[in-house]
């Protein structure tokens, strides 16, 4: 029988109106949005459904909004009796993956990611940090570029190793600018500046990580029910102590997404279900291995299609 992994997207996939149809049609999904409003003592659901796009994009809004929408979709899979063999997420999406694996309650997770977003936003003054996507260059060659620029006094490092030929770098604005120029000189096809509010997954996030540690201390973490693949190690994590350490380290370490997918392939996973808005992760999975089956689910129609496909082809639905 095919093994199934649930994947959860990170920041950048958000849009106004995501999850609204689920909220209106599915009581199990509505409950999740209501729980988020209660936990954060604010109408997050109103911002998600009919708010201002710029406000939703703010790190401390986008993170709880994406987590909430992803878990509202997940509830429909739980209702259908479907349990994945593995879960994984991209950056923020790792929190959704941990909720799905029973390691943290949704209420604790949505509060933690709200604070995570605030801490990330505060860590580096606006304009001082940056991120850029480097296309068409392998990790080893790009690492040499970022190491050289950093040694010369402008911190920059690999932040997201997404798929072959797509790596995001992060660091000081000057470091990212210099590394982007040198990457193109050394064979990169393109360097695209990203519209982000900070240098995420770089050493500059260490102050945020220290504050996050205190928040996670107040959360009840448990061992997982199913294995979760860690962003930091691209390996299985199941124990609560390891999970906490990895979540803190994740803030200033690269997201090893390509290695995560390869690890899942090695574990026998052939079906990847992206749970949350957008299809970014499904696209990355296909770039790692185009033969893999990907299903992106974000609304009642795509959920129904995914459940039907799992039932017919893989016997994973009860």
Rounded CA-CA distance 255/129 in Å is 18
Helix (H) or strand (E) holding 228: strand 228-229
Question: If DSSP codes are grouped into helix, strand and coil, which group holds residue 198?
Answer: coil
The three state secondary structure string of 110-167 is: HHHHHHHHHHHHHHCCCCCEEEEEEECCCHHHHHHHHHHHHHCCCCEEEEEEEECCEE
Residues 6+ apart with CB under 8 A from 261: 163, 272, 284, 285, 288, 289
CB 93 within 8 A of CB 258: no
From the candidates 13, 29, 91, 170, give the one annotated as an active-site residue: 91
User: Which residues pair with residue 239 across a beta bridge?
Assistant: none
Q: Is 91 a residue of the active site?
A: yes
Residues 6+ apart with CB under 8 A from 304: none
- Encoded tokens for 167: 């790596």
From the candidates 70, 96, 170, 201, give the one annotated as an active-site residue: 201
Residues 6+ apart with CB under 8 A from 49: 16, 17, 19, 20, 23
Rounded CA-CA distance 215/143 in Å is 32
Rounded CA-CA distance 55/48 in Å is 10
CA-based nearest residue to 19, from 37, 3, 38, 42? 37
Rounded CA-CA distance 142/250 in Å is 20
Catalytic residue list:
91, 201
């Amino acid at each position: 029988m095919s093994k199934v992994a649930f994947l959860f997207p990170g920041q950048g996939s958000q849009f106004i109106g995501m999850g609204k149809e689920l909220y209106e049609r599915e009581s199990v999904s509505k409950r999740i949005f209501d729980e988020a409003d209660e936990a954060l003592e604010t109408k997050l659901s109103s911002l998600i459904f009919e708010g201002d796009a710029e406000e939703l994009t703010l790190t401390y809004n986008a993170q709880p909004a994406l987590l909430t929408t992803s878990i509202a979709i997940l509830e429909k899979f739980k209702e259908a009796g479907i349990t994945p063999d593995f879960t994984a997420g991209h950056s923020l999406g790792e929190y959704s993956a941990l909720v799905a694996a029973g390691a943290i309650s949704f209420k604790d997770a949505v509060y933690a990611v709200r604070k995570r977003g605030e801490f990330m936003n505060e860590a580096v003054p606006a304009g001082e940090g940056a991120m850029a996507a480097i296309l068409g260059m392998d990790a080893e060659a790009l690492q040499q570029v970022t190491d050289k620029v950093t040694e010369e006094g402008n911190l920059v490092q690999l932040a997201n190793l997404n798929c072959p030929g797509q790596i995001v770098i992060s660091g000081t604005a000057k470091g990212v600018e210099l590394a982007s120029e040198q990457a193109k000189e050394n064979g990169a096809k393109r360097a695209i500046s990203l519209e982000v509010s900070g240098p995420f997954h770089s050493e500059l996030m260490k102050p945020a990580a220290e504050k996050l540690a205190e928040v996670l201390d107040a959360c009840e973490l448990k061992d997982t029910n199913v294995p979760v693949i860690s962003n930091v190690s691209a390996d299985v994590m199941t124990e609560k102590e390891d999970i906490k350490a990895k979540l803190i380290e994740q803030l200033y370490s690269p997201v090893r997404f390509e290695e995560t997918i390869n690890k899942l392939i090695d574990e026998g996973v052939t079906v990847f279900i992206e749970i949350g808005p957008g299809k970014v992760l499904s696209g990355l999975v296909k770039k790692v291995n185009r033969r893999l089956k990907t299903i992106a689910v974000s609304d009642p129609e795509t959920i129904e299609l995914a459940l039907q496909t799992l039932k017919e082809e893989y016997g994973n639905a009860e």
